[in-house]
Amino acid sequence: MSNIGIASAASSATAGAAPPANGGPGPANGAPGPANGAPAPAIPGADGPGSAPAPDVLTLGEFHSFQAEDSTFLYLVPSAAIFRLDAPSRAVLEALETANRTPAELLGMLGSRFPAEEVANRVEELMGVRAIGLLGKPAPAPPDLLPPKGFPLTTMVLNVTSKCNLACTYCYEYGDDRIVEADSKPRYMDLETARESVDFMFEQGGTNRLVHLTFFGGETLLNFKLLKSTVAYARQRAKEVGKEVDFSLTTNATLLKPEIVDWLAEYRVGVTVSIDGPREVQDGLRVFSNGMGSYDIILPKIKDLLARHRTRPIGARVTLTSKNLDVKEIFTHLTEEIGFWEVGFAPVTSSSCRDFSISDAGYDQMLGQFEELARDFLEHACADRHHGFSNVKDTLEEIHKGVSKAYPCGAGLGLMGVATDGDVALCHRFAGSDEHKIGSVSEGVDTEVQYDYLKKHHINSKTDCHTCWARPICAGGCYHEAHTRYGTTGTPNLHFCEWVRSWTDTCLRVYGAISERNPAFLARFDA
């Protein structure tokens, strides 16, 4: 939330997507009190026949304000545009925060501090960007659009095996919250299915010149033979159809060996290593089936990978649980001591009853540490230095572009997951689940099922989100997380709301500070 005079506002009068308000303006933005001596604003259209037309009344639109480097900024909702305020525009918003007012009342209030023309101009500009609006006359609602049919696939995630040589306690594929029973599908994808998947990927890619093929598991390197032949086949097919293909995989690093590293480097395969941190953290939950920790096995292999695979930056992906919330320590260990280029953190997906699930206090702790890392990132950014905290980088990019999402992610649209038997699901986390199947690589995507999903998961269908200022970036959050918590993919992740708003606010403040101190840095997000 804002720590300045202007609060986040979600006015019933201007919030296009807001649900029907409970009986008009409440006390928060109600009629002006006797303090300023102004008469109560007349609501247009409320007066009886024959009376003079009521003056228009200005009211706050929907936005979140934040402060950085002594400047005040507005994050507008739902447009996701960011503007920096000057003193008069800030004064206009502060005046409207205490009450809805007519333009004449505003001039009366602010006339002694600013020239009348300046006030008028700021009102005009704030109306133009919909930071303020007219009471009872909502801004036109955003268009109700589903993505066009035949939306091109950008990323296909291929589950090459559902087997894993580790037995991480929290695993969503094997743990107590799993969706798919491991023995319900083949344990390994066969070559024919992999090839069909590649053909499917290029076909679904439509007009996209570049498609991404990501290998996932299980432990991907358990099916290394398939990886090799699939990459070769995809490269050959890409040439034939005149497209480009890019490869990446996630691994637990236990099976890395020199010839695999050479192959990864040669074919520029992006590698993400699942690792939770220093030895005592990693060995707590990322264990072999006999309970033995994996840290000592993977450390030399990762060092070899980092030393010899130089064609793509290598990232680490950390699952945060109640047992490992020292984000800063983990980050420092993985970047400075081991040498990863980037580290991304994600809280574990689990039912709230699990021993390792993160409590509310745990989320607060995690957020505090994320904020510290975000401050480090800011200092690095201002000095044009790299900082590998990918969570903040990803959010800054979205803020920079001003994305206003209809969906939290591209699942079922630009991204699909393929199970070991060739069934296509919303994403890799649902691969193999019959309930979340939207087609198969041999028969294609069932567009009816796909569009049912898209309709159900559109931000318009998530009533809870309609008054949240963070919805342009969050859009309800991960479907898999929701499925695990609430048993349905369509529910917004309400247990994350406070956390998401706090984190988004932090990233906005970092963004605002960079825009003041080193605006040239932001150009790297233009690509």
Partner 1 sequence: MALKPINRKADRMVTYLANQGDVPPAEQMAGPVDPAAANAGADENAEDVVALGGRLPEIPEIPHIPLGCSLVFAPGWEVDEAGGTAGLCQPVERDLFDCHLACFWPAHVPDQLNHSPDWTGKCAAAQNDWRKLEMIFP
Minimum distance from CB of 62 to partner 1 (Å)? 11
- Least distance from partner 1 to the Cβ atom of residue 268, Å: 29
Task: Using CB under 8 A, pick the residue from 238, 260, 281, 399 that binds partner 1.
Answer: 399
User: With binding defined as CB under 8 A, does residue 299 bind partner 1?
Assistant: no
Of 29 and 197, the one with the shorter C-beta distance to partner 1 is 29
Q: Name the residue nearer to partner 1 (CB basis): 41 or 284.
A: 41
How far apart are alpha carbons 527 and 80 in whole angstroms? 18
> What is d(CA 485, CA 502) in angstroms, rounded to the nearest whole number?
21
Residue (of 139, 125, 136) closest to 92 by Cα position: 125
Our finding on whether 375 is near partner 1 (CB under 8 A) is no
Site for partner 1 in 264-293 (CB under 8 A): none
Select the span of 169-177, 221-229, 237-245, 396-404 touching partner 1 (CB under 8 A). 396-404
DSSP string, 306-366: HHH--SS--EEEEEEBTTB--HHHHHHIIIIII--SEEEEEEPP--TTSTTSPPHHHHHHH
Q: Does 31 bind partner 1 (CB under 8 A)?
A: no
C-beta of 141 vs 346, nearer to partner 1: 141
Nearest to 460 by CA among 16, 137, 152, 81: 16
| Least distance from partner 1 to the Cβ atom of residue 307, Å | 38
- CB of 486 vs partner 1, minimal distance in Å: 13
Residue 49 or residue 128: which is nearer to partner 1 going by CB? 128
Binding of partner 1 by 79 (CB under 8 A): yes
Nearer to partner 1, 88 or 347 (CB): 88
Residues 129-148 that bind partner 1 (CB under 8 A): 129, 133-134, 137, 139-145, 147
Minimum CB–partner distance for residue 322 and partner 1 (Å): 20
**Residue indicated by tokens 């099916």:** 223
Please identify, among the stretches 5-13, 21-29, 302-310, 443-451, the one whose residues bind partner 1 according to the rule CB under 8 A.
Answer: 21-29
Residues 319 and 276: beta-carbon distance below 8 Å? yes
487 binds partner 1 (CB under 8 A): no
- Within 10 Å of residue 49's Cβ, how many Cβ atoms? 4
From the list 7, 107, 182, 255, which residue makes contact with partner 1 (rule: CB under 8 A)?
107
Residues in 427-466 at the binding interface with partner 1, rule: CB under 8 A: 458-460, 463-464, 466
**CA 300 to centroid of chain Cα atoms:** 33
Among residue numbers 495 through 524, which ones bind partner 1 (CB under 8 A)?
A: 511-512, 515
213, 207, 405, 408: CA torsion to nearest 10: -30
Nearest to 511 by CA among 400, 401, 394, 403: 400
How far is it, in rounded angstroms, from Cα 143 to Cα 158?
A: 34
Residue 110 makes contact with partner 1 by CB under 8 A: no
Q: Is 363 in the site for partner 1 (CB under 8 A)?
A: no
Residue 120 binds to partner 1 (criterion: CB under 8 A): yes
Decide: 335 and 309 in contact? Cβ < 8 Å. no
Q: Is 78 in the site for partner 1 (CB under 8 A)?
A: yes
Residues 45-74, mask of contacts with partner 1 (x by CB under 8 A)? ----------xx-x--------------x-
367 lies in the binding site for partner 1 (CB under 8 A): no
- DSSP-assigned letters across all residues of 461-499: G-GGGGG-TTHHHHTT--HHHHHHHHS-TTS--GGGHHH
- By the 8 A CB rule, do 201 and 233 touch? no
Span from 20-28, 173-181, 204-212, 230-238 in contact with partner 1 (CB under 8 A):
20-28
- Of residues 140 through 199, those in contact with partner 1 by CB under 8 A are 140-145, 147
Count residues near partner 1 (CB under 8 A).
71
Query: Least distance (Å) from partner 1 to the CB of residue 453?
Result: 15
Contact 298, 253 (CB under 8 A): yes
- Altogether, the residues listed in the chain come to a count of 527
What are 46's two structure tokens? 């409320």
Q: Which of 12, 89, 251, 440 binds partner 1 (CB under 8 A)?
A: 89
Contact between 42 and 57 (Cβ < 8 Å): yes
Q: In whole angstroms, how close is the CB of 129 to partner 1 at the nearest point?
A: 6
Q: Which of 212, 329, 348, 312 is nearest to 278 (CA)?
A: 329
Dihedral sign, Cα of residue 160, residue 164, residue 168, residue 169: positive
Q: Which of residues 466-485 bind partner 1 (CB under 8 A)?
A: 466, 472
Q: Does 249 bind partner 1 (CB under 8 A)?
A: no
Toward partner 1, which CB reaches closer, 75 or 503?
Answer: 75
Q: Residue 353: which residues within 8 A CB-CB, separation 6 or more?
A: none
* Contact pick of 123, 306, 415, 419 for partner 1 (by CB under 8 A): 123
Q: Is 85 in the site for partner 1 (CB under 8 A)?
A: yes
* Binding of partner 1 by 19 (CB under 8 A): yes
What is the CB-side half-sphere exposure of residue 220 using CA atoms within 13 A? 27
404 near partner 1, rule: CB under 8 A = yes
